[in-house]
Amino acid sequence: MWFNILKVDRFARIKGKKGLYDPSDDTVTIDLDNFTSRGKNYDDEERTTEFSNVATHEYSHREYAKELNEAFDKALKELFDAHTSYSKGQGSIEDTENKFQKLLNYVIINEDFAYASEKTYKNLRIHDMTEGSTKSVFNQIIDWMRKQLPKEDILFERMVNRLENGIERGVGWRNSIFYEHKYLKRK
Q: 3-state DSSP call for residue 77?
A: helix
DSSP 10-39: EE---TT-SEEEETTTTEEEE-GGG-GGGS
Q: What is the pLDDT along the chain (187 residues), one digit of tens a residue?
A: 455 556 788 889 999 889 999 988 999 999 988 888 877 788 888 888 888 888 888 888 898 888 888 898 999 999 999 999 999 999 999 999 999 999 988 888 888 778 777 765 444 454 456 667 778 888 899 999 999 998 999 999 999 999 888 777 665 544 444 444 444 444 4
Q: Assign residue 160 a region: left if phi > 0, alpha if psi is -120 to 50, beta otherwise?
A: alpha
DSSP H or E segment with residue 50: helix 44-87
Q: What's the pLDDT at 167? A: 77
pLDDT of residue 64: 87
Specify the pairing of strand 19-22 against strand 27-30: antiparallel
Longest dimension (CA), the chain: 59
Q: How many helices (H) and strands (E) does the chain have?
A: 5, 3
110, 121 in Cβ contact below 8 A?
A: no
